[in-house]
Amino acid sequence: MPKDAIPTIGPAHVAIIMDGNGRWAQKRGRPRLFGHHAGARRVREIVEACPDMGVKYLTIFAFSTENWKRTQVEVAGLMSLFRKYIEREAKALVRNGVRVRFIGDRIRLDEKLVAMMDELELLTSHNDLIHLTIALNYGGRDEVTRAAKRLALEIEQGRLTHDEVDAETLSRFLDTHVLPDPDLVIRTSGEARISNFLLWQSAYAEYEFVDTLWPDFSRTEFARVLASYGKRDRRFGAVSA
Ligand code: IPE
Ligand code: IPE
Ligand code: MG
């Protein structure tokens, strides 16, 4: 077992808001995309650390429904980076037992990228060591809205009655329907907000906000954050024993 492995029971599902790529690049006098490339390289290290640290599910925020507001150059650069990431990482992901899923609305993404996402999901569909979910064109409100729309259609077409709608039923229509709720949400770069990430699913998640910019977020720091999670008392509204 590596020396930074967590001996106690850690969070099974960690979600990360990978923030700070732009500032990381600016500090070096480089364009924002330089930071996004550095950030993408970090992902592998963190994914590969998961099995040693007891993390079975890792969900990462790559592009939000609000990120379209950025310049055309940055958006196009990010879309091209996502294609390159899939191309470059596919083999290692298959080999390392990573099951990849994408959440978010695919409708606004270009066809070629969507085809690559589908292919990677299929290629890794037999893996079970780590479940990596990539949130791409994802927004919590958008996800709940899309779920509500589909739910309304089910009712309209008589497959469901309004009486049957409860939290569990609504969850089945979310992009994350096969995933457990996140235990821990980490945001890098010092911002203490959730920016529309996993709003429904994080109802009882623990949060950790760290100052490190995402391209500098190392396996060692990941281990430290997981260790501090181990000291928390999660009560879910009850009183601790
Ligand atoms: C996070 O880094 C990556 C994306 C949102 C795509 P940012 O690009 O938001 O970096 P900062 O926050 O401007 O430093
Ligand atoms: C959140 O970061 C989205 C991702 C990390 C993909 P942003 O940088 O877009 O969030 P705000 O604008 O600071 O809230
Ligand atoms: Mg940011």
Q: Which residues carry out catalysis? A: 19, 67
Ligand 1 close to Cβ of residue 215 (< 6 A): no
Taking the model in full, what pTM does it have?
Answer: 0.96
Q: What separation in Å is there between the alpha carbon of 126 and the centre of ligand 2?
A: 32
As to burial, measured by CB atoms within 10 angstroms (0-12 exposed, 13-18 middle, 19+ buried), residue 178 is exposed
**Any idea which ligand is nearest the CA of 197?**
2
Long-range contacts of 159-162 (CB under 8 A, 24+ apart): none
Six-digit token pair at 33?
């995309």
What's the 3-state SS for 2-21?
Answer: CCCCCCCCCCCEEEEECCCH
**How many angstroms separate the Cα of 118 from the Cα of each of 12, 102, 122?**
25, 9, 6
Task: Check residue 1 and give its pLDDT.
Answer: 44
**Rounded CA separation 86/84 (Å):** 5
Ligand 1 close to Cβ of residue 137 (< 6 A): no
β-strand partners of 134: 60, 102
Six-digit token pair at 9?
């029971």
- pLDDT tens over the chain, length 241 residues: 454 444 446 899 999 999 999 999 999 999 999 999 999 999 999 999 999 999 999 999 999 999 999 999 999 999 999 999 999 999 999 999 999 999 999 999 999 999 999 999 999 999 999 999 999 999 999 999 999 999 999 999 999 999 999 999 999 999 999 999 999 999 999 999 999 999 999 999 999 999 999 999 999 999 999 999 988 899 999 998 7
Q: How many CA atoms lie within 13 A of 22 on its CB side?
A: 8
Question: Angle 184-178-174 (CA atoms, 0-180°, nearest 5)?
Answer: 85
**Any idea which ligand is nearest the CA of 78?**
1
Closest atom of ligand 1 to CA, residue 62: 6
Task: Check residue 207 and give its pLDDT.
Answer: 98
**Rounded CA separation 49/47 (Å):** 5
Q: Which residue owns the Cα nearest ligand 2 atom 8?
A: 19
Q: Which residue owns the Cα nearest ligand 2 atom 9?
A: 67
Ligand 1 close to Cβ of residue 201 (< 6 A): no
Task: Check residue 231 and give its pLDDT.
Answer: 85
- Give one DSSP letter per residue of the chain, joined into a string: --TT---S---SEEEEE---HHHHHHHTT--HHHHHHHHHHHHHHHHHHTGGGT--EEEEEEEETTGGGS-HHHHHHHHHHHHHHHHHHHHHHHHTTEEEEEES-GGGS-HHHHHHHHHHHHHTTT--SEEEEEEEEE-HHHHHHHHHHHHHHHHHTTSS-GGG--HHHHHTTSTTTTSPPPSEEEE-TT----TTSSTTTTTT-EEEE--S-GGG--HHHHHHHHHHHTT----TTS---
Residue among 16, 17, 19 whose CB has most ligand 1 atoms within 8 A, to mutate: 19
Ligand 1 close to Cβ of residue 19 (< 6 A): yes
Domains of the chain, CATH where assigned: 13-139+181-229 (3.40.1180.10)
Task: Check residue 9 and give its pLDDT.
Answer: 63
